C-alpha cells in the first residue's frame, strides 16, 4: 500500500506519494528459477519426442551416417566362397552361412567380410579401423566393444577413413575414437538394424583372416 505525506506550497498542502521499494534481488531469483524450469521442461519434451521417433530416423539424423537400405544389392542369401561387396567394409548383402562371433570380440587382425556381414544380419555393429590407427585410439574403441553383445572390432585394409562403423544397411565414418557419434550410432543401431535382430552372436567364427571358412556350421 502506498503511503502519502504532505508538503506546503503557496499555502496549500500537496500530497506526496511514497512508493514502496521493489526487492530486485527476489525478482532476479524468481526469474532465474523460472527460466531454468522452462529449460528443463523443454529439454524433457524434446527428449521424449526424440525417443518416440523410429530408430531408423534417429540413426539417419546423425551427422555423417549413410543409409543403404534402399539398395537392391542388400540381399540376404547364404553363399559360399569369397564374395564381392558394393561397400567396403560391407554393410550388408549375401553372406556366408557362418557368422563372426560378435559378443564384444576385439580382433587384432582383419576378419572375413562374409562372416561379419552375417553378424550384422543378426544385429551386430561392426567397428573397423585402419591397421595404423594409433594404439591409444584402438584401445578407446576396444573399451567400447569388449564384453558387450552384438559388437565387434577389427582392423581393416583399404578404409577411406581412420574409423568406419557398420550396421546392416548403415555406415558412419570418423577420424577419431573420441567422436561421440560412434556411441550414438551404437546406441541406436545395435540389434535394431539387423533383419534377424536378436539372433545369437555367440558360437560363430573366432578366427581372423579374410578368407571365409565355408566348412563352419551355422
Question: What does each of the 218 residues of the chain score in pLDDT, given as a tens digit?
Answer: 555 555 555 556 666 555 656 666 666 666 666 665 545 554 443 444 445 799 999 999 999 999 999 999 999 999 999 999 999 999 999 999 999 999 999 999 999 999 999 999 999 999 999 999 999 999 999 999 999 999 999 999 999 999 999 999 999 999 999 999 999 999 999 999 999 998 999 999 999 999 999 854 44
pLDDT in tens, 190-208: 999 999 998 999 999 999 9
* 180-189 helix and 135-145 helix, angle to the nearest 10 degrees: 30
- On whether the CB atoms of residues 125 and 144 are closer than 8 A, the answer is no
Distance from chain centroid for Cα 99: 23
pLDDT in tens, 126-163: 999 999 999 999 999 999 999 999 999 999 999 999 99
Determine if the pTM surpasses 0.85. Answer: no
Taking CB atoms within 8 Å and a gap of at least 24, the contacts of 55-60 are 55/188, 55/189, 55/192, 55/193, 56/192, 58/188, 59/167, 59/170, 59/185, 59/188, 59/189, 59/192, 59/193, 60/170
Angle at Cα 120 formed by Cα 102 and Cα 92, nearest 5°?
150
Please tell me the predicted confidence (pLDDT) of residue 52.
Answer: 75
Amino acid at each position: 500500500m502506498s503511503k502519502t505525506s504532505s508538503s506546503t506550497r503557496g499555502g496549500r498542502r500537496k500530497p506526496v506519494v511514497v512508493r514502496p521499494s521493489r526487492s530486485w534481488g527476489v525478482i532476479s531469483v524468481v526469474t532465474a528459477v523460472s527460466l531454468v524450469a522452462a529449460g528443463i521442461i523443454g529439454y524433457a519434451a524434446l527428449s521424449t519426442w526424440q525417443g518416440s521417433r523410429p530408430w531408423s530416423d534417429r540413426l539417419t539424423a546423425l551427422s555423417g551416417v549413410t543409409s543403404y537400405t534402399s539398395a537392391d544389392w542388400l540381399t540376404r542369401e547364404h553363399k559360399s566362397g569369397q564374395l564381392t561387396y558394393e561397400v567396403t567394409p560391407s554393410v550388408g548383402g549375401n553372406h556366408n552361412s557362418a557368422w563372426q562371433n560378435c559378443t564384444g570380440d576385439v580382433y587384432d587382425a582383419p576378419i572375413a567380410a562374409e562372416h561379419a556381414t552375417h553378424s550384422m544380419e543378426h544385429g551386430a555393429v561392426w567397428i573397423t579401423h585402419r591397421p595404423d590407427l594409433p594404439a591409444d585410439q584402438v584401445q578407446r574403441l576396444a573399451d567400447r566393444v569388449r564384453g558387450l553383445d552384438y559388437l565387434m572390432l577389427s582392423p581393416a585394409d583399404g578404409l577411406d577413413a581412420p574409423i568406419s562403423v557398420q550396421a546392416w544397411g548403415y555406415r558412419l565414418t570418423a577420424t577419431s575414437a573420441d567422436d561421440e557419434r560412434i556411441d550414438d550410432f551404437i546406441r541406436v543401431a545395435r540389434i535394431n538394424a539387423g533383419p534377424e535382430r536378436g539372433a545369437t552372436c555367440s558360437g560363430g567364427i573366432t578366427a581372423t583372416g579374410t578368407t571365409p571358412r565355408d566348412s563352419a556350421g551355422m
